[in-house]
């Protein structure tokens, strides 16, 4: 989803002052960060790469271990167990 206009189309992904964001066009990127739009291709944004839910989940678990270790249950293969549970719920 585009972080500016909320369309389902995601063509570009880039870091902003508030973290990584996805955009459907460079025009939406320019509106979002308040810079002048000078045509598609001018800013040279990175193409959006889709990641699997497993990768997103593992990233979230890693983040939780760093910033909220008290909330993460520690035991062997924790990530695999969480992914298995998430797949069962789909």
CA distance 87 to 71: 22
Q: What is the largest CA-CA distance in the chain?
A: 52
- For residue 1, the model assigns a pLDDT of 87
The neighbour count for residue 39, using CB atoms within 10 Å, is: 8
State the pLDDT confidence band at 12, using cuts at 50, 70 and 90: confident
Residue 8 banded pLDDT, cuts 50, 70, 90 = confident
Residue 25: DSSP 8-state: S
pLDDT(57) > 60: yes
Distances (CA, A) of 10 to 14, 20, 64: 11, 13, 27
72 pLDDT exceeds 70? no
pLDDT at 81 over 80: no
Q: Is 23 exposed, middle or buried (0-12, 13-18, 19+ CB in 10 A)?
A: buried
pTM: 0.52
Average pLDDT for residues 46-54, to the nearest whole number? Answer: 67
């Amino acid at each position: 989803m585009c972080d500016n206009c909320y369309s389902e189309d995601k063509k570009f992904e880039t870091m902003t002052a508030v973290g990584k964001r996805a955009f459907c066009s460079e025009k939406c990127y320019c509106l979002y960060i308040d810079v002048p739009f000078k045509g598609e291709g001018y800013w040279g944004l990175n193409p959006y790469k889709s990641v699997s839910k497993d990768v997103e989940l593992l990233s979230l678990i890693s983040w939780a271990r760093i910033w909220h270790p008290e909330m993460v249950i520690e035991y062997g293969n924790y990530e695999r167990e969480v992914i298995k549970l998430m797949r069962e719920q789909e």
